[in-house]
Amino acid sequence: MKRFVDAGGYNSQIDEVVDNALDKRQFAELTTPGSANTEYWIEHGAGTVAIGFIVISQDKPAITYRSTVTPWDNDKIYLMTDTADVAVKIMVF
């Protein structure tokens, strides 16, 4: 059995960033485009540019990454996945 150890105190500024990110998180479930490495977007509605995303689950091996074609904005993030037709659940924060 693996036990987690408290990492100790964090910098208060980092705590604030993490807390704000978690307060504004949003989950999206979608299937990626039918062609690999094709840009797609997720609307997050946070009102500010998102700082990141985490793939929570997927139904096949794939790498999802930030697109360099379109910059993120206050409403959407733009991603690509190296495999076609992947059912993913993504947390945007």
Q: Which residue has the higher pLDDT, 37 or 18?
A: 37
> Residues 34, 84: contact at Cβ < 8 Å?
yes
Checking if the pLDDT of 29 tops 80, the result is yes
Domain boundaries, the chain: 25-92
Tell me which H or E stretch contains 64.
strand 64-66
Q: What does the alpha-carbon distance between residue 77 and residue 12 come to, in Å, rounded to a whole number? A: 27
Lowest-pLDDT choice from 2-6, 33-37, 41-45: 2-6
Cβ neighbours of residue 49 under 8 Å, at least 6 residues apart? Answer: 72, 73, 74
**Mean pLDDT of the region 55-81:** 97
pLDDT value of residue 93: 85
